[in-house]
C-alpha cells in the first residue's frame, strides 16, 4: 500500500510539472501578456466597461441588416403594390413585413408554396406619421397590422438615471478632496491637526551627530533624561520645564537638535510647523491646537516640536491690522500650555529665528520656561561640525579641517555642510578620487564670493583698474594694526558683480572690537578706491560695496556704539514701537532732533573723509609696492597669502 501511495505521489508530481510547463496554465503567468491573475483585483469599472462593450457589440452585429428605411409615401406605395403584407406599428416607426403571420409560420415549417418574387426576409421601415387615412388604406388592401407594445427599459433607465450620476458624483467628490490636500479625509475635517508622528529611530539623528552647540545640547539632554527617568526628579521635588524654545539664526541646527531629541528620547515625538495651524477659516487653527494636545496627552510621555513658532506666536496688538484667526490660534496655544488640567509628560519644543516678535505671554515661565540660544559655532565648534560632515568624505591626508574652520568665521552649521559638499563636488569635477585642501579653499571662496567666471570677457583697461583696486585693499590690510592677515588676492570675476576680491582670515575668534579696529576696517575698505585715484586720477563704480560698508560702520560707531565726540556714550538709533520688514511703522520717527541728525550726517562725512585722506597718504608712500602687486595680479590673476607676504618682505 505504501508503494502504491508513493507511485501516486510521483504521478501527481509529474502531472503538476507538466501543467506548469504548459503555456497559459501557470496561475502566476500573465494571460496573453496583459493581466496577471495573481495581481488582478475585481473592480466595478471592469463590470461597467464589459457592459458597454456588449451593448455596442449587440447593436452592431445582432441587429437585422435586411431592414430598409424609406419615406412614408414610398411605404404606402409598397403596401399598394403588395410588397408589404403585414405592418407592425411601433411608438416611433412603422415596420413593413413581406409575409402575413400565417405565411411566416409556413416558411418556418417549410410548408410555404407561394410564388412570391423577391427576398422573403426584406423589411421596410418608416418614421411614424399620424395619418388618419393610413388605417383605412390597410383595411382596403387587406393588410394585417398590429401595435407593438412599448419596450420595457427599466434597468437601462435605472442605470442612466441613478447609477451613472451617483458614480459621477463620487468621482467629483474624491477629486475635490484631493485638490484640497485631504485625500482620504472628509472635506470638512479642517480641525484635525497636521502633526507628523515620528516613531523611534525614524530620524536617524542622535546627539552624536550634533556638534558646535554643546550648551544647547546639554539642556536638551536633561529633557530627554527626565522623560526616561522622571522618578529621580520627582524624588527631590523638581519639575521639568514645560517648554523649551530654541532661538538662533537660520542654519545653526535648531531643527537638527529636535531630530536628535526624537532619536534619543525613545518616546512619542510629534513634529509640526507653525504654518500648519494657519487656515483661511477663523477657528480652524485653534481646533487644530486642541486636537494636537489631545493626541499628545493620550500618548504621554511625549515631545511636541513646533518649527517656525513665529508663524502663530507673533505678538498680539502690534501689527497694523489684526488677524482674528492667528490670534485665536495663539490664545488656544497659551491655554493648552498653561491649562488647569495636568500636562505631566508632555514637553513642548519649539524653534524660531525671530524671538523679538513673539508674544510676551508665550515667553513667560510656565509656558516656555527655557530659552536656549543656538548660536553660530566658534572655531572649535566649526571644526567639530566639519569633522561630522566630512566623516564619509574621502579626503587627502594633507587636508587640515582646523584651517578650514579658521577660514569660515561666522558660518553656520548649514554653511559648513555646504562647504564640505562643494569641496567633494569640485574634486569629482577635477577627476580626483580624494578631496584636497585646495578644494576646500575653492569651496569657501565659492560660498563667499560666488561661482568663478573665468570666461567673462573684461577689457584690459577695466582689468587693470580691478588689479590696482585689490592691490590697495591688500596693502592697507597688511600695514593696518589689528587687521586680519591677507589670505588670497584675486582678479578672477565671481558671482553677479564681483570682478575681484581680497580674502582675509582671522587668526583667532573675536567677539569685541575697539574703536581703532573699527577705524582700521574702514581704512581697508577705502584702500581700493584710494589706489584707483592714486594711479588713474579718477574713481570708478567698483568701490560701491566698499563705501557702503564703510559708511555703515561709521554710522554705527556714532549712533549705536557711542563713539562720537559730541554724543559720547549715547545711543541715537533706538526706535520704539512695532516694525514691519525692519522699518518702524509710522514713517520711522527718530528719537532725536533735526540738528542731531544733521550732526550725524556731518560726523559720518568727516570721519570717512579723514580716513580716506590717511589711506591715500599711506598708499602714496607705498606706490612702488602697490604697482608691483598689481602687475603680478595682471600676470597671474591670483596671489596666495604666502606669496603676498614674501613680496612685502622683499627690499
Residue 373: its H or E element:
strand 370-373
Phi, psi of 421 (to 5 degrees): -65, -40
Q: In what order do the strands lie in the sheet with 196-198?
A: 196-198, 268-273, 302-307, 346-352, 243-247, 370-373
Give the C-alpha separation, 147 to 141, whole Å: 18
DSSP class of residue 110 equals: T
**C-beta of residue 72 within 8 angstroms of C-beta of residue 124:** no
Give the C-alpha separation, 277 to 313, whole Å: 11
Which cell is 447 given? 560660498
Of 80, 170, 173, give the one whose Cα is nearest residue 133.
80
The one catalytic residue in 470, 481, 515, 617 is 470
Give the C-alpha separation, 324 to 299, whole Å: 31
Of 316, 327, 313, 319, give the one whose Cα is nearest residue 283.
327
Cβ-based neighbour number of residue 618 at 10 Å: 17
Residues 210-232, buried b or exposed e (16+ Cβ, 10 A)? bbbbeebbebbeebbebbeeeee
**C-beta of residue 206 within 8 angstroms of C-beta of residue 264:** yes
Residue 171 makes CB contacts below 8 A (sequence gap 6+) with none
Residue with C-alpha cell 455596442? 56
Give the C-alpha separation, 562 to 570, whole Å: 5
Is 470 a catalytic site residue? yes
**C-beta of residue 67 within 8 angstroms of C-beta of residue 123:** yes
Q: Quick check: helix, strand or coil at residue 144? A: strand
Q: Distance of alpha carbon 388 from its chain centroid, rounded?
A: 25
As annotated, the active-site residues are: 470
Amino acid at each position: 500500500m505504501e508503494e502504491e501511495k508513493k507511485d501516486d505521489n510521483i504521478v501527481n508530481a509529474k502531472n503538476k510539472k507538466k501543467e506548469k510547463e504548459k503555456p497559459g496554465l501557470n496561475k502566476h503567468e500573465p494571460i496573453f501578456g496583459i493581466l496577471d491573475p495573481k495581481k488582478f483585483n475585481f473592480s466595478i469599472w471592469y463590470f461597467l466597461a464589459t457592459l458597454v462593450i456588449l451593448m455596442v457589440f449587440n447593436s452592431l452585429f445582432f441587429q437585422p441588416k435586411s431592414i430598409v428605411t424609406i419615406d412614408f409615401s414610398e411605404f404606402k406605395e409598397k403596401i399598394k403594390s403588395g410588397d408589404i403584407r403585414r405592418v407592425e406599428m411601433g411608438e416611433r416607426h412603422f415596420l413593413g413585413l413581406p409575409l402575413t403571420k400565417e405565411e411566416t409560420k409556413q416558411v418556418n415549417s417549410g410548408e410555404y408554396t407561394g410564388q412570391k418574387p423577391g427576398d422573403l426576409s426584406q423589411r421596410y421601415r418608416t418614421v411614424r406619421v399620424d395619418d388618419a387615412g393610413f388605417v383605412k388604406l390597410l383595411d382596403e388592401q387587406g393588410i394585417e397590422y398590429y401595435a407593438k407594445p412599448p419596450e420595457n427599459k427599466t434597468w437601462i433607465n435605472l442605470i442612466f438615471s441613478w447609477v451613472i450620476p451617483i458614480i459621477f458624483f463620487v468621482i467629483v467628490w474624491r477629486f475635490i478632496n484631493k485638490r484640497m490636500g485631504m485625500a482620504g479625509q472628509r472635506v470638512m475635517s479642517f480641525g484635525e491637526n497636521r502633526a507628523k508622528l515620528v516613531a523611534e529611530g525614524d530620524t536617524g539623528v542622535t546627539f552624536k551627530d550634533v556638534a558646535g552647540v554643546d550648551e544647547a545640547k546639554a539642556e536638551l539632554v536633561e529633557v530627554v533624561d527626565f522623560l526616561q527617568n522622571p522618578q529621580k526628579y520627582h524624588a527631590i521635588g523638581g519639575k521639568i520645564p514645560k517648554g523649551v524654545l530654541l532661538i538662533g539664526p537660520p542654519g545653526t541646527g535648531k531643527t537638527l537638535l529636535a531630530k536628535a531629541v526624537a532619536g534619543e528620547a525613545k518616546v512619542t515625538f510629534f513634529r509640526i510647523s507653525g504654518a500648519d495651524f494657519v487656515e483661511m477659516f477663523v477657528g480652524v487653527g485653534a481646533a487644530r491646537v486642541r486636537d494636537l494636545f489631545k493626541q499628545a496627552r493620550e500618548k504621554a510621555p511625549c515631545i511636541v516640536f513646533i518649527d517656525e513658532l513665529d508663524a502663530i506666536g507673533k505678538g498680539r496688538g502690534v501689527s497694523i491690522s489684526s488677524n482674528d484667526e492667528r490670534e485665536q490660534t495663539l490664545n488656544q496655544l497659551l491655554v493648552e500650555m498653561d491649562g488647569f488640567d495636568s500636562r505631566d509628560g508632555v514637553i513642548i519644543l519649539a524653534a524660531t529665528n525671530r524671538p523679538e516678535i513673539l508674544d510676551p505671554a508665550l515667553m513667560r515661565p510656565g509656558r516656555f520656561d527655557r530659552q536656549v540660544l543656538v548660536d553660530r559655532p566658534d572655531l572649535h565648534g566649526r571644526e567639530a561640525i566639519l569633522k561630522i560632515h566630512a566623516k564619509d568624505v574621502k579626503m587627502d591626508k594633507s587636508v587640515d579641517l582646523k584651517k578650514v574652520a579658521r577660514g569660515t568665521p561666522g558660518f553656520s552649521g548649514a554653511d559648513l555642510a555646504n562647504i564640505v559638499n562643494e569641496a567633494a563636488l569640485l574634486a569629482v569635477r577635477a577627476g580626483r578620487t580624494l578631496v584636497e585642501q585646495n578644494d576646500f579653499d575653492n569651496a569657501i571662496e565659492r560660498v563667499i564670493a560666488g561661482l568663478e567666471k573665468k570666461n567673462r570677457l573684461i577689457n584690459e583697461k577695466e582689468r587693470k583698474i580691478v588689479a590696482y583696486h585689490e592691490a590697495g585693499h591688500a596693502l592697507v590690510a597688511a600695514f593696518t594694526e589689528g587687521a586680519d592677515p591677507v589670505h588670497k588676492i584675486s582678479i578672477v570675476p565671481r558671482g553677479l558683480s564681483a570682478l575681484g576680491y581680497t580674502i582675509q582670515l582671522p587668526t583667532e575668534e573675536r567677539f569685541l572690537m575697539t574703536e581703532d579696529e573699527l577705524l582700521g576696517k574702514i581704512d581697508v575698505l577705502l584702500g581700493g578706491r584710494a589706489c584707483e585715484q592714486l594711479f588713474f586720477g579718477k574713481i570708478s563704480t567698483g568701490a560701491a560695496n566698499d563705501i557702503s560698508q564703510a559708511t555703515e560702520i561709521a554710522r554705527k560707531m556714532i549712533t549705536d556704539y557711542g563713539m562720537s565726540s559730541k554724543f559720547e556714550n549715547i545711543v541715537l538709533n533706538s526706535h520704539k514701537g512695532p516694525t514691519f520688514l525692519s522699518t518702524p511703522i509710522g514713517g520711522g520717527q527718530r528719537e532725536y532732533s533735526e540738528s542731531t541728525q544733521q550732526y550725524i550726517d556731518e560726523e559720518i562725512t568727516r570721519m570717512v573723509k579723514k580716513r580716506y585722506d590717511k589711506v591715500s597718504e599711506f598708499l602714496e608712500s607705498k606706490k612702488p609696492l602697490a604697482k608691483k602687486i598689481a602687475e603680478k595680479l595682471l600676470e597671474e590673476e591670483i596671489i596666495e597669502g604666502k606669496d603676498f607676504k614674501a613680496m612685502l618682505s622683499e627690499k
